Structure 1
C-alpha cells in the first residue's frame, strides 16, 4: 500500500485472492471462454456455510440480504414495530445510523430507552437490567461498537432479555471475522452483518441470522422471490395444468423462507468465497491474539500523551478510539501529510487494526501524533 492503512473498520481492503476470484468471475460474465461447472448456487451455499462457521450459526438460520441496516429493519418489521408498541432497549454505543431508526420509532409511539456510555467507554449491565422489564420486546445492540470497539457480553444480555420475554438483536458487523463469536451459544435471536468490513468483502451483500427456535414465532416481514421453495407450478401460461390460483408454491425452509430477498450480489459472493476461507484458515482467535499487542501499545502510549480514551482498557476488539475536541481540524492534514489513513471524526479518532498491520504501522502512527493538544 502507498500509505499506512489503519482504517479497516471503515472498509477493509480486498485480499489479493479475492481480487483474483473476482477477475475470474468477470471473465465468466463476459463469456471470455468456457467455464464448465461454474455454479453460483454452489458458491452461495459455500459462503453461507462459511459465514455460519465464523459466527456459530447453522445454515438454516442464515439468509443473504443487502446490508446490516436492512437486516435490522426486517427484524423490527417481523416483530410488528411500531404498531406492536412496547419497549425497545438500546444504547449509545449501537450503530449511530440506528439512532435515526429508533428515533423514528420513538416518534411513532414506541417506548425507546437508550442507555448512556459510561466514562470508561462501556454500557453498564446494571443500567440495562434496570431498563429491561416485562414490557420490553427487544434489546438492540452492537456486539462490537463502531464508535469505540466496546464488546458486549452477548450471553449476559440474552439471559437478561429472555428472562423478561424479550428478543435480542445484535449488529455483528464489527465482530464477525474479527472477534471470537458464537451466536447460538450466546442465545442471540437475531443478528446481521454486512461483508465489507472484517469479512474482507464488498458492499451490497450481508447476512441475517434468525435463531431456529424463534423462526416460527415471528411474522414474515415481507415477500421476496428467494423465499419461494419446494414445488412451484404456474397456471396461467400455455400448457400449464389447471389451477384456481395464478401459481401454487411453497416456502423455502429456515430463515430464507421468511427473510430472503430477490437477487443478491454475485460479485460479493465470489469475493467472500475466498475471504471467508482465508479468515477461517488464519483463525479468529489467532487474528485477535496477533493484533492485541498493537492495540495495547496504542492504548498505553496515547493515554500517556494525554489523549482522552474512549475504548476500555483490555478490549479485545480491533478498534481503539480517543476523544479529541476538533479532531478533524487538528489531525486530518497532519495524518494525510504523513501517509496515514484512519477514521477522524469531528471530535474523536479511531484506529482499526487488521491482519496486514504490524508494529511498524503502530510506530509510524505514534511517531506522528503529538502530545494531546489542550482542549
Structure 2
C-alpha cells in the first residue's frame, strides 16, 4: 500500500481532521473488520483458547518482533503497560550495592509513579532529572546522575505531553558503562519512529498498540534481552508466565516460561489482539520509512504555520528533538480542544497545551483546515 492510499482506510477522515493519535489512533476499516471477525469466530466456534485465538496471538508477536528487530522469545504481551512493568519491577535484582533508579520528570505517570512506589515501599533511591525550559534533558545530566549504585535507568522515548524526543542511544551507552540497565518507554513513538532494539542495545523496552500502531487499548508489549530475562524471576505473574500455561497444578513448583514470556500475566484480551494484528499489518504494508517521512514533513509544516499565528509551540523546533506530536500552549486547553471538536478538528489536551499528533494518514489539507479554525479561536 502506498502512503497516499493509507488515508482511505480511515473513514473518520472523510468528515473530520483527526490529530489525536497520541491519545488513540484513528479507526481503520481493517481494524474494525478484525474485531467483527473475533465476534464471528467466538460465535461460530465458541471459546478458541488453543485454536484461533492462540494463532492470532502468535501472529501478533511475530509482526511486533519484525517491527522491533528482535526475537519472538524476547517479547511479552499483556493488556496493560502497568501490569508488565509491575512484573518486571518485581524481578529487579536490587542490592545494597545497586539500589538506585535514574529517571526523568517527563515520564508518563504510569511509569514514573511506579518508581515512587519502589522508593516509598522498598527504600530504593529514585532520582528524577529535571527538564529545562525547552523541555530537554542533556546527556550531561545523565552522566552526573548514573553511577555504580544505579541498577536501572528509565527514560521516555517521546514525551506524552509536549512531544520532546530524547536521544536515547548515548543514554544507553552511559548507563552500560556504569553497569546499569535501561528501560525505554516508546508508547508515543512506536508506529511512526523506526525502532531497532538490537541496534540500540536497550535492555528493556515497552510500547502499546492503541496509539500509532492503530490497534485498541488492551494490547501492550514488553521487550527484554533474552540473556537478561532468563535470569529474572518475577513475583507478579499469571498463568501465561509459566512454561506450560495449561498446567493447572499450583501446588507443584512453578516453572517459568523461557525468555520474556515469564512477564506475561493472566487471561489475554483477545479482541484487542485481533485489532492490533490489523493495525500493525497496516504499518508494515505501508512501510515505516514512508510514514516517518510523512510525519516529519507535516510536523514541520504545522509548526511553521502556527508560529505565523503567534502561538507558543511547546514542542522542540529541531525536528531531531521531537516526535510525531506538536503541543501548542493555550490558556484553557480543554476548552480549546472542545472548541476545535465543534469544528470537526479532533485534538488532545494535556497539561498546559493542546496536542496535535500526526500519522501517515494525515496530509497538508488537515493542517490547512486546522489553521483556519485556530485563526477564529485566538
- 1:231 deviation in Å? 10
TM-score (normalised: structure 1): 0.87
- The yes-or-no answer on 1:323 pairing with 2:348 is no
Say whether the 8 Å CA contact 1:179–1:284 is kept in structure 2. yes
Tell me if structure 2 keeps the 8 A contact 1:6–1:340.
yes
CA contact (8 A) 1:93 1:123 kept: no
Residue aligning to 2:158: 144
- Report what 1:60 is aligned to: 73
Partner of residue 367, structure 1: 372
Alignment of 1:111-122 (within 5 A): 111-122=125-136
Matched, 1:267 2:271: yes
Q: What is the aligned partner in structure 2 of residue 348 from structure 1?
A: 353
How do 1:277-316 residues align onto structure 2 when only pairs under 5 Å count?
277-313=281-317, 314-315=319-320
Query: Aligned with 1:350: secondary structure?
Result: strand
Asked whether 1:214 is paired with 2:219, we answer: no
CA gap of 1:328–1:272, structure 2 versus 1, over 3 A, is: closer
The answer to whether 1:43 aligns with 2:86 is: no
Query: What pairs up with 1:326-341 in 2 under 5 angstroms?
Result: 326-329=332-335, 331-341=336-346
Deviates more, 1:302-311 or 1:12-21: 302-311
2:37 maps to which residue? Answer: 24
Structure 2 counterpart of 1:12: 25
Question: As a proportion of its length, which structure holds more helix?
Answer: 2
Per-residue deviation, residues 156-184 of structure 1 (Å, max 9, x unmatched): 11111111111111111112211011112
> In 2, Cα distance between the equivalents of 1:354 and 1:324?
23
| Cα distance in 1 for residues equivalent to 2:125 and 2:254 | 39
SS at match of 1:31: helix
Runs of at least 4 residues of structure 1 off by over 4 A?
A: 80-85, 230-235, 245-250
Contact 1:305/1:372 (<8 A) preserved: no
Number of aligned residue pairs: give it: 360
Contact 1:210 1:255 in 2 (8 A): yes
Q: TM-score, normalised by structure 2?
A: 0.87
Which protein has the larger Cα radius of gyration, Structure 1 or Structure 2?
1
Unaligned runs of 5+ in 1: 236-244
Name the CA distance, whole Å, in 1 between partners of 2:143 and 2:197: 21
Q: Which residue of 1 aligns with 2:5?
A: none
In 2: Cα distance, 1:151 partner to 1:158 partner: 15
Contact 1:170 1:188 in 2 (8 A): yes
Q: Relative to structure 1, is the Cα distance of residues 23 and 38 closer, same or farther in structure 2, using a 3 angstrom cutoff?
A: farther
Distance 1:218 1:91, change over 3 A: same
Q: Secondary structure at the match of 1:310?
A: coil
